[in-house]
Amino acid sequence: MQSTKRDTASWQAADKAHFIHPFTDGASLHKEGTRIITGGEGVWIRDNDDNVLLDGMAGLWCVNAGYGQPKLIEAASEQLKSLAYYNAFFHTAVPSSIELAELLAEVSPAQFKRVYYSNSGSEGNDTVIRLVRHYWDLVGKPERKTLIARNFAYHGSTIGGASLSGMPWMHAQGDLPIPGIVHIEQPHYEALGSGLTREQFGLKAASWLEEKIIEVGPENVAAFIAEPVQGAGGVVVPPSSYWPEIQRICRKYDILLVSDEVICGFGRTGNWWGCQTFGYEPDLMTFAKGVTSGYVPLGGVMVSDRVADVVENGGIFNHGYTYSGHPVACAVGVANVKLLIQEKIVDYVREDAGPYLAEKLATLNDHPLVGYTDGIGLMWAIQIVKDKSTNALFDYDKQVNAICREFARKNGLIIRAIVNDRMIIAPPLVISRAEIDRVVEITRRSLDETLVELQLRGWF
Ligand SMILES: *Cc1c(COP(=O)(O)O)cnc(C)c1O
């Protein structure tokens, strides 16, 4: 663990002076002071003052293998010693990038044998935009340029990624989305499905895609992109009728189906990929986060034979990153994928940890502030409500879930407060049953304290 001689106040002062944080209101950050995190082991992180917290968010949905895995650390340092960097542009490659490509093909659905590397999920989705448009040009249908995405999707923060994302507050800054990207409503049953059964609603939500295709003109649509389960949009699990119907519609109009697996990939839903959990066959899959368990940045796109055969035989695709297939990132990716395989971590999520967390979270349903829980595998949301009988939400500006998040942190647990008063729990996939018990125990205590606080404020 990195030992530092500087105290927290000194780090905070330097942070305030020099570091602009992502997705952060600088003024409120520096009023409270940045929390300085210095160590991690398993599902636990430690701050500069030696407080230990259970990381119920796996960093940012990425530390699937947990902190401090010796095999990942060794893989990085061995690669750094032998060859820290070389590119993949000039008819060259390094062994780790080839080995990871081979492994990714092994753990992916049959249509995927090839990968295009990026350094992040955002870049992966930018690659998707360029790749699908290039594909349609090559097959002689250059008018197919529009991508359809969903409201409250999160596909990243580059201009392409933010345009694909369906977050109104992101679009509001910098005149997004860029042209050629349109959105449909999300398959959020509790918010939009009134009067329908879950499965009826799944079909209805999928029909919004068909409506949009007809509105844009099928001959103009390049692809539909979606997360298997919306992550940053609040862990919204679609009805089981949704994805097969989406698949049918994409095939009917010959539209490429892109699965953004940046959160769901690498075991989070209990299979290697979210599309396997929900039963559909995408043409492209974006990945990042869990591929290296976040130890070093890496992302990419799994490219199906349908698209890869065309692009590989279509001359130069004028696209690439200096760090496409970075040796160190790929070496960690190899070690991480092997670890997930050898330790049967994906099976553990599906058969043990996932169902156990689901069962324990369900015990919170009796709480006055909990409307319901929503999730799959090791990605879960607790819906905070003002009124259990109607699932009515508190006014958004009260930020009730942020109150709960702060109590949780004080009690030693990191969980995330997200859009529409949801609390998110998405721990490292190696979390034990005892640690899950602890997560749920602290969550209940924090909900209790939130309730008292709301009563004090006269909000409940
Ligand atoms: C995090 C995320 C991204 C963006 O990945 P970055 O590595 O932050 O660029 C894209 N899609 C989904 C679903 C994500 O959760």
Q: What is the mean pLDDT of residues 150-171?
A: 98
Q: What is the mean pLDDT of residues 265-292?
A: 98
- For the CA of 263, the closest atom of ligand 1 is 15
Q: How far is the CA of 195 from the centre of ligand 1 (A)?
A: 34
Domain topology for 71-342: Aspartate Aminotransferase; domain 2 (3.40.640)
- Say which residue, 3 or 201, is predicted with more confidence: 201
pLDDT over 60 (residue 44): yes
Pocket test for ligand 1, best of 61, 263, 292 (most atoms within 8 A of CB): 263
Mention every residue, 6+ apart, whose C-beta is less than 8 A from residue 148: 181, 182, 183, 184, 209, 212, 213, 216, 221, 223, 224, 225, 255
**pLDDT tens digits along 190-227:** 999 999 999 999 999 999 999 999 999 999 999 999 99
CA dihedral 102, 104, 110, 113 (to 10 degrees): -50
Share of the chain above pLDDT 90, in %: 98
Beta carbons of 206 and 246 less than 8 angstroms apart: yes
Structure tokens at 407: 């109590």
Which pLDDT score is estimated for 74?
Answer: 98
Domain topology for 35-68+344-457: Aspartate Aminotransferase, domain 1 (3.90.1150)
pLDDT over 70 (residue 3): no
Pocket test for ligand 1, best of 23, 64, 119, 122 (most atoms within 8 A of CB): 122
Which pLDDT score is estimated for 333?
Answer: 98
Interatomic CA distance for residues 82 and 74, integer angstroms: 12
> Within 13 Å, how many C-alpha atoms sit on residue 398's CB side?
18
**pLDDT tens digits along 328-370:** 999 999 999 999 999 999 999 999 999 999 999 999 999 999 9
Q: How far is the CA of 19 from the centre of ligand 1 (A)?
A: 22
Instruction: For ligand 1, atom 13, name the residue with the nearest CA.
Output: 262
pLDDT over 90 (residue 4): no
Pocket test for ligand 1, best of 154, 292, 295, 301 (most atoms within 8 A of CB): 154
Q: Return residue ranges of the chain for CATH 3.90.1150.10.
A: 35-68+344-457
Q: How far is the CA of 62 from the centre of ligand 1 (A)?
A: 10
Instruction: For ligand 1, atom 5, name the residue with the nearest CA.
Output: 121
- For the CA of 227, the closest atom of ligand 1 is 13
Mention every residue, 6+ apart, whose C-beta is less than 8 A from residue 196: 204
Instruction: For ligand 1, atom 11, name the residue with the nearest CA.
Output: 155
**pLDDT tens digits along 417-443:** 998 899 999 999 999 999 999 999 999
Q: Return residue ranges of the chain for CATH 3.40.640.10.
A: 71-342
pLDDT over 60 (residue 1): no
**pLDDT tens digits along 319-334:** 999 999 999 999 999 9
Q: What is the mean pLDDT of residues 80-99?
A: 97
Looking at 2-16, 110-124, 277-291, 383-397, which range is the least confident one? Answer: 2-16
- For the CA of 121, the closest atom of ligand 1 is 5
Which pLDDT score is estimated for 396?
Answer: 87
pLDDT over 60 (residue 45): yes
Pocket-forming residues, ligand 1, beta carbon under 6 Å? 120-122, 125, 154-156, 227, 231-232, 260, 262-263, 288-289, 299
CA dihedral 241, 242, 246, 249 (to 10 degrees): 50
Instruction: For ligand 1, atom 10, name the residue with the nearest CA.
Output: 155
Pocket test for ligand 1, best of 120, 170, 225, 259 (most atoms within 8 A of CB): 120
Q: How far is the CA of 5 from the centre of ligand 1 (A)?
A: 34
- For the CA of 288, the closest atom of ligand 1 is 7
pLDDT over 90 (residue 5): no
**pLDDT tens digits along 106-146:** 999 999 999 999 999 999 999 999 999 999 999 999 999 99
Interatomic CA distance for residues 394 and 27, integer angstroms: 25
